[in-house]
A and B are shown apart, each in its own frame.
Chain A
Amino acid sequence: EAQVTQNPRYLITVTGKKLTVTCSQNMNHEYMSWYRQDPGLGLRQIYYSMNVEVTDKGDVPEGYKVSRKEKRNFPLILESPSPNQTSLYFCASSKEMGRGGNQPQHFGDGTRLSIL
């Protein structure tokens, strides 16, 4: 079954304790992306990757890191989490996302992070 898998689904942690949210897709997609969803703000893009070893900042990259060493995996790293990063996070993937951007995104089920 084609899917995007995020782990963990829920995490409560404390300020400053490094954490990683994993994302894996089994569709051989080139494009992967991370979003955060906050009430009243919709989805905002954190980072995206056009292919292996190619990553770019989205709208809200501060406080986050990503890496794309393999095509299927795109982990999101919070080196020193803070309470303002409490949010619902989504990973997504699609076929090659050229500048035309006409490929639909496949989303994971989300990771709810609470930073105390």
Chain B
Amino acid sequence: AQSVTQLDSHVSVSEGTPVLLRCNYSSSYSPSLFWYVQHPNKGLQLLLKYTSAATLVKGINGFEAEFKKSETSFHLTKPSAHMSDAAEYFCVVSVRSGNTPLVFGKGTRLSVIA
């Protein structure tokens, strides 16, 4: 069965320092993978997606993620955190079987300290 594990429920960084949000997936097929961001009282917004093209994917707001098949990981990074990056982040994997096309991770809350 396909699954997604976000390894940290909460990450706290200082403004200007790097961000790393970790995501591992399990899939029997070559997956499509997404990262979404959710700001308070808002819906989810797509940050970036991987669909079997380049393994290093660049997204909006300076975020990027690297697909590593050997490690079944899709970690989200940003070189320098900004206060506006404080939000909830979700890793999502698409599946090719079963009842639901998408599986969401439980989310990682990113706090940015001034």
Is A42 touching B105 in the complex (CB atoms < 8 A)?
Answer: yes
Beta-carbon contacts of A73-115 to B below 8 Å, as 1s and 0s?
0000000000000000010100001011110110111100000
B43 / chain A contacts, CB cutoff of 8 Å: 4, 90, 92, 107-110
Q: Are A104 and B102 in contact (CB under 8 A)?
A: no
Is the CB of A41 closer than 8 A to any CB of chain B? yes
Interface residues of A in 1-56 (CB under 8 A from B): 4, 31, 33, 35, 40-45, 48, 56
> Complex formed: what's the CA distance from A4 to B45 in Å?
12
Given contacts A101-B32, A108-B43, contact A42 B97 (CB under 8 A): no
A109 to B45, CA, bound (A): 10
Residues of B within 8 A of A42 (CB): 90, 104-107
* New A-B pairs, 5, CB < 8 Å, besides A43-B44, A102-B51: A43-B104, A107-B43, A109-B41, A109-B43, A110-B42
